[in-house]
Amino acid sequence: MQALPLRVLVLEDHLFQQTVAASQLKQLGCQDVFSASNGAQALEILQRVGPVDIALCDLHMEGMDGLEFLHRVARAGLVGAVILSSSLSEDVRRAARQLVPLLGLELLGDVGKPLRIDTLEALLKKHLYKPAVTSATLKPFALAGIDEVRSAMQHQQMETYFQPKINLLMGDVVGVEALTRWNHPSGEMVPPAVFMPAIESSDLLNDLFFTQLNHGLELQRQAWSRGHLLNVAFNLEPVQLSNPELVSTIKNVLYGYGLPGSTLTFELTESGLLEASATCLESLVRLRMMGCRLSIDDFGVGFSSLQRLCRLPFNEIKLDGQFVRGLDEPRCRAAISSTLALGATLGMSVVVEGIETPEQHQQLLDLGCAQGQGFLFAKPMTKQDLLVWLETRVMPDTII
């Protein structure tokens, strides 16, 4: 067995299971394996031997439990990554899985019990052979300040990409979502999470939006000339809707392209709509009066979803991709089914995000979902790539 240059701590209060876990780790070739029966004992070991790469951690035990242990080692920097191993119910473990990254620790996986050596081996290798992050990769990300972002926009480095929305029953493309990617001079494709905070904190939000809008309308016109009718969705922030001139400007841009408002969808995250101003609400109503669709994005991850649906004129729900990733869990399936039923009752279409596998696609069909998007169908692509894709794409085998 190849030696793995890993230091691993086993935190398990059941002596037999602790022994089995330590034995499997040694069998897999781990450099150093330490064992503890509770959090306090584990902390003493770490203070004596120093930090470890991975903690294989149970949650429920006498004395200092696994959660308190993780809090302490995260603050002290004594553990790099965590593998959860617990016999607690799935809903409790699911919440624990969400907690680990919030503590600043890497979650490698949740192996449950009994522990399987093949599963453990896969997680160890996942940690050991993850792609290296080089200084060249990090450089453009670290420089994403307001001045550089403004320069990037002036030099047209911000490019609009489009990700298709699919009719899950027939395989037809029902629309696309416009997304921005930064083609950095270094050759890196910088993700929105790096540059959007700078854009949102400056006066560049509308500049980016209207650049996207023009790119999307150009795509629409070219796609229509080839026989493809595409609705294009754009993300809007509530602060933009508070500008009383926004809707009239959108209307003028549409007029210049000779396109109706019904060809557009505007997506707004529910978390940004906690306090909708009078001007914001009026803008939403005027967009609907123009025939535009309004979509509440990332549905299910905020705190006031139902209130927003009742008070604001949305006609589409975009269900966050975290529910698709949890399709094997009864609660996530129930949440999806309930959202589909809610959409049908309110006369709203439901689009499910984050579909990545044929199995997820089939499960969503079984639940009655009709629209979705995700890497199973297509990743975001440039305008020219999308036009080629529309002409040459092959329907997935799972489409019925």
- Which residues carry out catalysis? 353
Q: How far apart are the first and last CA of the chain?
A: 47
- The C-alpha angle with vertex 149 and arms to 143 and 151, in degrees rounded to 5, equals 110
Helix ranges, the chain (H):
15-27, 39-49, 66-76, 90-102, 117-128, 135-142, 146-154, 192-200, 205-225, 238-241, 246-257, 278-289, 305-311, 322-325, 330-346, 358-367, 383-392
Closest CA to 3 of 35, 33, 30, 37: 30
Q: List all residues 6 or more positions away from 76 whose beta carbon is below 8 Å from its beta carbon.
A: 46
Tokens of 198: 């700078």
- The C-alpha angle with vertex 320 and arms to 265 and 365, in degrees rounded to 5, equals 90
Distance CA 207, CA 142 (A): 23
Distance CA 22, CA 42 (A): 14
Give the number of residues written for the chain: 400
Distance CA 249, CA 238 (A): 16
| Cα Rg of the chain (Å, integer) | 25
3-state DSSP assignment of residue 298: strand
3-state DSSP assignment of residue 232: strand
Distance CA 221, CA 38 (A): 65
The number of C-alpha atoms within 13 Å of 397 and in the hemisphere containing its C-beta is 3
Question: Do the beta carbons of residue 82 and residue 106 sit within 8 Å?
Answer: yes
The number of C-alpha atoms within 13 Å of 9 and in the hemisphere containing its C-beta is 32
Tokens of 33: 């394996």
